[in-house]
Every structure is written in structure tokens, then in C-alpha cells.
Amino acid sequence: MRAILFLLLLSATLFSQGRLDTRITEEFQKVMELAAPPAGDGKLDEEAARERAESFKASLAAFLENWKRQADRLTTGKFVYARALALAGRQKEAIPVLESFLHQFPDSEDAEEATLMYGAALLDTRRPEKAVSVFREFLARRKKSDRRHVARYYLGLARYEMGEIEAGIQAIGEVASSGIEDRLVADANVKYVELLRDAGRVAAALAHLEKLLEKSPEAPYLLTLREQLEMIGKPAPEFRDVGAWAIGPEQTVAASRGHVLVLVFFVPWAEPSLAELEALAGLKRELGGRDVRFVGMTKFYTPFEKKPREVQLAEMRKLLAKQGVDFPVGMAESFANLRAYGVRGVPHTVVIGKDGRIAYVKYGGSRKNAQAIRNLKRAIERALR
């Protein structure tokens, strides 16, 4: 009797779990429909696209909040929950869910995708050594998988992040030249150019980029990459129209000849710019004693009749002190310096070699991209040599 009762209870539990797994799958599919292209011609104006993206983001957040309380009761549905977490950028939370799923269902039809997602989440949470182990095991065990190029791609990224620069570049290059037609291989081709650039192999980066531009001559990011790469090796323009130096004595590019100069363009109101200043101040301390100079460059963004020069300077000094900046910072009275250095967005960081030529150009901030600062540091080391 007890055995029969136990089997009935077990059957009821499994049925309940099965319903939960089905339900989360169906609800997730409805959320994902918001990310799919619209019916018809598939075109949205900018406002409609923004509204659709916000709707998807809100729906995904609501989905995760709803399932958070039931996640422990899921079985195969854990994979769906982990996908949603990863899609929301919550990889740290997705990792234990994926580990549990792969432990329970190693032979599931979703195990392959879950393994790739698990490795990518480890990489995103800065655990490249563990990610390398996951992707190597994937390649060893899944000889016939049609997703092997995905594993090789992420394996290359992980090895690069570990400091195995040439091995990482080679792996990404192999994926880029695989001839497989999918989005990841297209991304690998662009990433290959970026990694060559970050390793200081500018000629090779430009050569591969030109091949990509033959196929997509109007691609905005590829054109921006070419502009960036073509700046490298050119004489660094001299500073112009600098109205005052908020910190330190007046600086010139000419006076820095014989030294490595790190120049950052920023605006005082944007968080990425402030984070970059903080990161560079830390890098300056780390490189203390090396032959490297740091200079910040911004401008007076408020007309003097609305806010006097001295008031803006005082506000800038207060802001820089808060960010821990102790290197010279100039405030220009025009956009001449930004135009001369091809600045399209800030922060924009340039490494100028001892010969006065541009050695490296870094776009964007580093708050959520530790690899970007490591690449910058490597560029400074190359310039010092």
C-alpha cells in the first residue's frame, strides 16, 4: 500500500514538474516574439524600434521576476530560465542554473547549447581558465557537432583574455576563415581585425579589414575601424585652442617627444568618461616610475557669459579630485583637438609613442570591459619598448 501511495505521489510530482517546464517554455517563447522582426516588410522607424526594445526588456524582466520563486522546482525548464538570465545580462546568476541543468541532464537535446552558454557565461564573468576547460571538453566530446566553430570562437577569446595572445588570435582567425555562413563567423571576422589591432599588428589588421570592406563597403563600423587603424603611425597633432589647464602646467605634444604620452578625451558629465579618468589614474599609479605621461583633454562646454571661465575651472578641479586624477587636464575653447584626433565619441584614448606618432587608439570606456584596459596597458608597454 505504501509503495502504491509513493508511486502515486511521485507520478503527481513529475506531472506537476512537467507542467512547469512546459509553461516556462511557452511563456519564454511569447517574450521572445517581441524580439523577432515585425510582420510585413520588417521595418520600424526609430521611435517604434525603441518602444519595441523597451517592451521586450520589460517583458523579460517581468518573466524573470515571476519565475524566480519557482526556479528551484524546474527540471528541464532550468535551461529556459538560464537562457532568460543570460539574455538579461545576468550571467553570474545563470551559471549555477546551467551547472545544475548539465549535471541532471548531460544527454539532453539542449545540453550542447547549454554547454556553450555556460562557457560564454564563465568568460563574461571573467573566469577564462574555467571557460577554456569547458570549450576544450566540448571539442573533445562533440566531434560531429555543427557548433564546433562556436566553441572554437569562444575558446579563442578565452585564451586571448588569459594572455595567450597569439593562440587566441589564431583561433579566431581560423573561425573567421572557416567559410561557414552565420552571424558568429561574421562577428569573428570583425573580432579578428580588433584583436590584430590590439596586438599591435596594424598592417595585418588593415589587410583583413580591406577584404571585409570589399563585401560591405558601406558598413559604418568597418569604416570607423579603418579610420582608427589609419590614424596609427601618423604624427600626433599638436594641441590647439587650449584656454586653460585645470591641473598641472601647460602641456604640448612636442614637449612629450622622447616619452610615451597617453591622451584621453572626455566630457565631464558622462559616467563612461569619468570611469575612464578613474581607470587611467589607476593605470598611472601602476606604471609609476615608467617613462609615461598622461594628459586629459576636454573643453569649456558652457558659454562664459552663462558660466565664467574660473567657475568652470573650479568645477573641473573638484570633479577631477573626486576621480583621483592627478595628471594634467586641458580645457579647450573649440572642437579643434577632437577633429584633429578623429574623435567621434568619448572617452577616446590615444597612445603616442616616443617618436611623436600615434601608436594606439582606444574607443569607448573600460568600466565594464577589463580587457580594454589590459589592451591599453599592452599598447603602452609596446610603445615603451
**350: which strand partners?**
263, 361
CA angle 359, 271, 242 (to 5 degrees): 55
Residue 102 has a pLDDT of 96
Q: What is the pLDDT of residues 99-141, one digit of tens each?
A: 999 999 999 999 999 999 999 999 999 999 999 999 999 999 9
pLDDT at 39: 65
For domain 242-384, say whether CATH 1.20.1050.10 is its number. Answer: no
- Mean pLDDT, residues 148-175: 96
**pLDDT tens, 78-106?**
999 999 999 999 999 999 999 999 999 99
| CATH 3.40.30.10 residue window(s) in the chain | 242-384
Helical segments of the chain, H only: 2-33, 46-68, 78-87, 91-104, 111-124, 128-141, 148-161, 165-176, 183-198, 202-215, 220-231, 271-286, 309-322, 336-340, 370-384
232, 295, 337, 383 from 258: Cα distances, Å: 18, 15, 22, 11
Q: How far apart are CA 167 and CA 136, in angstroms?
A: 14
Whether 11 shows a pLDDT value over 90: the answer reads no
| Domain limits, CATH 1.25.40.10, in the chain | 16-229
| pLDDT digits 0-9 by tens, 22-57 | 999 999 999 999 887 776 555 667 788 788 889 999
Q: How confident is the model at residue 364 (pLDDT cuts 50, 70, 90)?
A: confident
User: 16-229: which CATH architecture?
Assistant: Alpha Horseshoe (1.25)
Average pLDDT over residues 336-353: 95
The residues, any chain, with a CB within 8 Å of residue 31's CB and separated by 6 or more, are 56, 59, 60, 63, 84
Mean pLDDT of 215-229: 94
According to DSSP, residue 334 is labeled S
Confidence of residue 289 (pLDDT cuts 50, 70, 90): confident
pLDDT at residue number 15: 41
